[in-house]
Structure formats: structure tokens, C-alpha cells
Structure 1
Amino acid sequence: MIQQDFHYFVLIIPACLLLLGIAFVIGRLMLRDQVFLSWIAAGYILSALALAAQSLMNNQQLAHWSVVAASIYLFSIWAVAHGLALRKGGTAHPKMALLISAITLSLLFYYSQVVDNLWLRIIIANSGLGLIQLLVARLFLTSVATKDVLDKTLSISYLVIIVYTLARPAVIAIGVSPADLGELTQSNYWLLMLSASLLLSLWLALLVIAITVRDIMHKMNDERYRDSLTHLLNRRGFFEAAKDFMGSDATSRYFLLTCDIDHFKNVNDNWGHLAGDKVLQAVSKAIIKNVRKGDLVARFGGEEFVIFLRSIDINDARKIAERIREEIENTTYSAIPICITASFGLVDIVPNQDLVSAIDRADALLYNAKQNGRNQVCWH
């Protein structure tokens, strides 16, 4: 393959990276809340442009532009790491990344402008890239234990990429001599490096796209099955979740607790609907705080809540209901100057009884609690 054809051939790889970056840009434009996609897009696009430019350079040009190219690579690798870290609620430690970049670029400047040593520059640049990726290693190590298959795969894959990047300088130092490099951009090493980068980048991009699509589906389900004000299950979400909840533990008994805020209409009439919304949010937090992990909590509409409990007996379920009642009563509501209370109806779930019937029974008991003075749990 003649030199010009070889250059055009290797441009296919940065072109693929550029297309992946553009795909992430489109995804970011469509998904305004997925900020991490912007960083990943920047990493892919900038690294593609730098690779394309370097693929057309000879060794002398590579030395002249080494600091500029390395700056782009260092930022690109950090941008991808930072984007992935943002999705996991972390960060890629920009101050430490700046320090690593400054040291790396200083060494590259010396071995390109003062002493021209291509072999050392390759080792230094790869070491800097590996150290920047290492900044997020702990975040991904802690994510490996997750039960989510896609998140686990992403964490393991990125850790493999970090190990690969860190190992590359050692492999070059041991297995590649300066004489083997020749014209770098026409060498087997360059082609191998580009191919490995493309494969790893493609795999990472596929995982990110799959996870983003999965997150979108979860968000759509949340919008369909959750109340937008309190983020509790809505009526539809409650009945869907209850199907799995009932069969999750054959040794437990199940209880249904309905809750209705006392005199809630007065709150809206006297202090406005915004104050009413804040009361609903506070009550939902009080309920969540006092139920067990896995119990179902739903807002059925207005000021009515339904709680599906897994418990050992009726007395234990009553204790949970009383804790919720006391929490609501003792909560200070900044939006209004009065005490808020709630009334409850508690029933056990009879085998083979449908939930609608159980809710009707609990509502009847809740009505009794209202008639008997409110702020109490009426049970059967």
C-alpha cells in the first residue's frame, strides 16, 4: 500500500470516532437532561480530529505539534471519564487532571522541542492518559457490585480500558525499540493502536447508548406510573407493582393501609394550592420514612394515600401505621401555621381477595376514623 493510500485508510478510524461523537451530540439535543452525553460527545469528536490530523503527519510534524495534540487527547480522555462519572453521580477530579496534564505536557515539550525523542513521547503521553482515566477508577470499582447488568458491564469495560491504557506504556517500553518506529504514522504500531482504540471506543459507545435508552424507558415508565408531585406510585403504578409484591414473600402476611389528610380542603382554601402541594410532599416523605424497604406507597389522588405493607401480624402493621400518623402530626409545615393530621384505615389482605375489595374495606374503616374524631388508625 503506497503512503497516500495508507493515510487515507487510517482516516477511516477517526471518521468512525467522529460519527460516534456526532451521534452523542444528537442524543444530547434530544435528551436535554442527559448532560453527561455532552462530555462524551466532546471527547469522541476532539480525539477523532486529533487522530485524523496526526495520521497525515510525518515524524517532524508530529514533534512540532506534539504538545497541541497531547492537550487535545488529554482533554478528550478526561471529558469521556468525566461524562461517565457524572452519570454515576461523581466527578473526574478536574484539579488533579490539570496537574497530571501540566506535568505530561511539560515533559512532552522538552522531548519534542529541546530533545526530539519520539519513543519517550509515546510513553509519556500514554502514561498521562492512563493516569487521568485512573482518577475515576474507584467510582467504577464500587459500581461493579451492582445488580444492574448494563451498569456492571459498563463499569467492568471501563476498568479494562483503564488497565489497557496504563499497560500500553509498559508494553511499548519493553517490546518496542526506538528503531522499530520509523515513520510513526505508517508503522504497524500506529495501525494497531488505532484499531484497538476504535474497538474499545465502539464497545464503550454501544454500552453508553444502551444504558441511555434503558434510562429513557425507565423515565417513561416513571412518568406513566408515578405521581409527578410526590414521586410516589400513582393508582396505575400501584396495581402494577402490587402484582409482583404479593408473591415476593410467601412467609409474610400482607396489610393494606389507606391514609387521608384531615381537613385538607381548608389548607387549599385558606393558604392556596401551592401550600397544599407542599403539605402533600411533606406527608409523602413522612410515610416513606416510616415504612420498610420494599413496601409500596402510592398517592391515589387528592389527599389520599395507599400503603401496601408486608408484616408479621396486625399488631406490627398497626405500629407502622401509628408511626406514620405521629410523624405527620409532629411535622412542622412551613407553608401553613397549623398542625396537620391524617386518618387511617388498616385491613389485612384475605387470601385470593382482590386489591380493590381490600381498598374498599380499608376506606370504610378510614371513614369510621373520620367520624370518630380523625387523627387515628381504625383497623380490623
Structure 2
Amino acid sequence: MNQQEPQYFVLIVPGCLLLLGLAFLLGRWILRDQRFLSWVAAGYIIPSLALSAQSLMTNAQLADWSVVIATFYLFGSWAVAQGMAVRNGSHAHPCIALLIAAITLALLFYFSHIDDRLWFRIVILNAGIALVQLLAVRSLFARPTPEDLSERVLNISYSVSIAYTLARPLVVYSFVPAVDMDNLTRSNLWLLMLATSVLLCLWFALVVFAITVRDILLKVSDERYRDSLTLLLNRRGFFESAKIFMSQPGDQRYFLLVCDIDHFKHINDNWGHLEGDQVLQVVSRTLLTNVRGGDLVARFGGEEFVMLMKGNNMTDASSLAERIRYQLEQTTFSHSAEKVTGSFGLVEVNSLQDLPAAIGRADALLYQAKNAGRNQICVTA
């Protein structure tokens, strides 16, 4: 009975990996835009098949099937690396991965069919897997250190996985005498290593699932609080963001600039709605490029834009508004030589509670600018 217990136990580990892989596939089916989940699923399912076979083999069988089993492990490791890279808008260098796999498999063939050395095979396979895993590291760490804790946990977890892959041969070398190598897959150390592997895989899967849920919530939030055409804040998003923006400590002064595109109906009627959409996008980019980080830019609807910004005084805020007005005036569009201009109303906001009233005051100044001939800025006295 005792002799059979390890046999049943080792099948639990690949079974867990298989279930995790199927869970990732289910997640990919539900979340159609999360393409990286397909790769991560393959990275769990394919090695689970190899591990289940490997754990039940004798040393002689391991030698005979080492190249096939290694192929499964290498592809599974690359699939996870590819998934991590795809998530960051990159790829895990498939050509380099093929080269690493070819060299690894050639060495494994030699040390299994020509010169049977189990220890060498363990070192070669783990080194090959680690090199394949490293192909995703650049895409993970190419960006500045992420401020989001979950992103840092994901990067660290992936790095720990690589470190563990490199450490496995050292563990085997340190704790398994050469005379016991033939019984490695029946040893307690092998069971401990399998248990460690499945725990790391479970942890990594939980981190990936948590980040996927986080990304979905952020996307839903963006869809709720952002304008789909310009990707600026919408009215709801503006007021929600203003609560945080204006609650920061310190003696801050805030200024509100309202912009309305002149003769926008004429643009749509004469140039077409596609050109009108392009005008809205250009105006939104012009506003964004002239504000400081943290300042709020929103599209309230139609051709009306609102900016909430910090400043030292009204003179500085007026200079910024004039710079925006001038840039819009100088912008040309593909289907017409006509200029696109904007009218502006600029006021100071006394407090968060004053914000709705400040918008009303800025709107009144905006209409003064339009009545005075458009393409100008009216500032509160």
C-alpha cells in the first residue's frame, strides 16, 4: 500500500495544473479580448501531460522519452512567456525560442540515447526552460517600475518561477546521492519538488486571475467615465475625478476653462460627420498637450470641452487658454482649407462646492465670446 501512495500523489500535481489550464481557457472564452489567457492556458495544460507521464516512468523510460517530454515542457514554458509578453503588447521571440529548444533537445538526445546521464539531462532541461522563460522578461520590465502593486507582484512571481527552475538541479545534486539517481522519481525529494511546483503554479495563477479581474474592472470604469470618441473624461467622470483632484492638501488655486468649437454644425453639414469626429479628436489632443499631468480634461457632450487645472494666478491660466486658442486656429484639416476655431470662458474655482456654479459662470463667458465674434477668450473680472 505504501509503495502505491506516491504513485497516486504525483498524479494530483499534473491534475491541478490541468484544471488551472482549463480555468484559463474558460476565462478566455468569457473574456474574448484577453488573448493572453489562451497562451497561459496552454502553458499549464501541455506541461501537465508531460508531468503526469514523467512522474510514472522509471529512469530507463525517462531516457527513452526525454526528448518528447522536454518538447512539452519547453513549449509550455514558452506559451506562458508568450502570454505575459502578449499582455504587455509584445511577443516572446519565437525564433529565439525555437533555437533554444533545438539546442536543448539535441543535448537531451545525446545524454539519453548515446551517453545516458540523468543528472546532465536535469540540468540541460531546466536551463532550457529558464532561458525560454527569460524571453518574456524584457516585455515585463521594459516599462518603468509599475506603481500598481498587483503588477509588481506579477513580475516578482514570474521571476521567482525562473529562479526556481534554475534552482531545481542544484537541489537534486545536493540531496540525491549518485547511487539513488535511478530512484529519483520515487523519492520524497521528488514529491516535495512537485508540491513546491504546484504551489508556485497556483500562486501565479491566482495573481494572473486577480490582475485579469482588475483589468476588466478598470475597463468597465473607463467605459463608464470616459467619452468613447476622444477618450477624455465624460461629464460623470469629470465630477468624480474633480472630487479627488480638488481634495489634495496644500494652498492650491484652481481654474476652469470651457471651450466650444465654433460653427461645429457647419463642419458636420459641409464636411461630414467623419470629418467632424476628426475635429473633435484633434481638439481633444490639443487640450491634452497643453495641460500638466493631473489636470482634468473632459468632453461634456457635442462640441463642448471643459478643463480643470491648477495654477498660480489668472494671468498664467489666461496664457494657457490663449496658447490653446492659437494652436486650434493654426490647425488645418484634410477636407477643407477653413480654419477651426474655438470660443472660451475662463473662471477661477473657489472650492469643490463652487465647481457647478463655476461651470455656469464659464458658460456665460463662453457665450459672451461667441456673441463678440468667436475665436476669443472671455475671462471673469
What is the TM-score of this pair, normalised by structure 2? Answer: 0.95
Q: Which residue of 2 aligns with 1:196?
A: 196
What's the CA shift string for 1:242-283, capped at 9, x where partnerless?
A: 001112252221000001001000111112212111111111
Q: Distance in 2 between matches of 1:71 and 1:56?
A: 18
Give the match for residue 327 of structure 1: 327
Alignment partner, residue 315 of structure 2? 315
CA distance in structure 1 between the partners assigned to 2:348 and 2:327 by the alignment: 23
| AA aligned opposite 2:357 | S
Q: Deviations over 1:210-232 (max 9, x none)?
A: 00001111111111111111111
Q: Which residue does 2:255 correspond to in 1?
A: 255
Preserved contact between residue 123 and residue 173 of structure 1 (Cα < 8 Å): no
| CA distance in 2: counterparts of 1:177 and 1:86, whole angstroms | 42
Report the alpha carbon displacement of residue 143 of structure 1 after superposing the two structures with TM. 6.0
**Is residue 2:234 matched to residue 1:234?**
yes
SS at structure 2 position matched to 1:147: coil
Is residue 246–residue 351 contact of structure 2 (8 Å, CA) maintained in 1?
no
Distance 2:60 2:8 in 1: 20
Q: Name the amino acid aligned to 1:56.
A: L
Q: Give the letter aligned to residue 176 of structure 1.
A: V
Do 2:84 and 2:140's aligned partners in 1 also have CA atoms closer than 8 Å? no
- Secondary structure in 2 matching 1:338: coil
Is the 1:143–1:155 Cα contact (8 Å) retained in structure 2?
no
Identify if the C-alpha distance between structure 1 residues 166 and 336 changes in structure 2 by more than 3 Å, giving closer, same or farther: farther
Q: CA deviation at 1:70?
A: 0.5
Q: 1:22-171, aligned counterparts within 5 Å?
A: 22-141=22-141, 145-171=145-171
- Deviation of 1:142 (Å): 5.3
Rate the CA distance shift 1:338–1:217 in 2: closer, same or farther, 3 A.
Answer: same
CA distance in 2, matches of 1:264, 1:139: 43
Q: Which amino acid aligns with 2:128?
A: G
Greater Cα offset, 204-213 or 79-88 = 79-88
**1:6 CA drift (Å):** 2.6
Q: Cα 1:351–1:140, aligned 2, differ >3 Å: closer, same or farther?
A: closer
Q: Distance in 2 between matches of 1:281 and 1:174?
A: 63
TM-score (norm 1): 0.95
Q: After alignment, is 76-85 or 201-210 more displaced?
A: 76-85
Q: Distance in 1 between matches of 2:261 and 2:21?
A: 51
Partner deviation per Cα, 1:125-144 (whole Å, 9 max, x = no partner): 01111122223334444568
Aligned residue type for 1:233:
L
Distance in structure 2 (CA, Å) of the matches to 1:325 and 1:101: 59
- CA shift for structure 1 position 99: 1.6
Shift of 1:174: 4.4
Distance in 2, matches of 1:351 and 1:7, equals 70
What secondary structure sits across from 1:268 in the alignment?
helix
- Unaligned stretches of 5+ in structure 1? none
Alignment map for 1:228-377 (pairs within 5 Å): 228-351=228-351, 353-377=353-377
**Identity within the alignment, %:** 61
Secondary structure in 2 matching 1:183: helix
CA offset digits 1:73-110 (Å, max 9, x no partner): 01111111121122233332222222211111110011
- CA distance, structure 2, for counterparts of residue 331 and residue 325 of structure 1: 10
Deviation at 1:175, TM superposition (A): 4.2
**Structure 2 residue ranges without an equivalent (≥5):** none
- 1: CA distance, partners of 2:349 / 2:26: 50
Distance in 2, Cα, partners of 1:42 & 1:336: 52
- One-letter amino acid of the counterpart of residue 277, structure 1: D
Structure 1 stretch 136-145 or stretch 194-203: which is displaced more? 136-145
Structure 2 residue 182 is the aligned partner of structure 1 residue 182: yes
What CA distance in whole angstroms lies between the structure 1 residues aligned with 2:10 and 2:38? 26
Give SS of 2:32's match.
Answer: coil
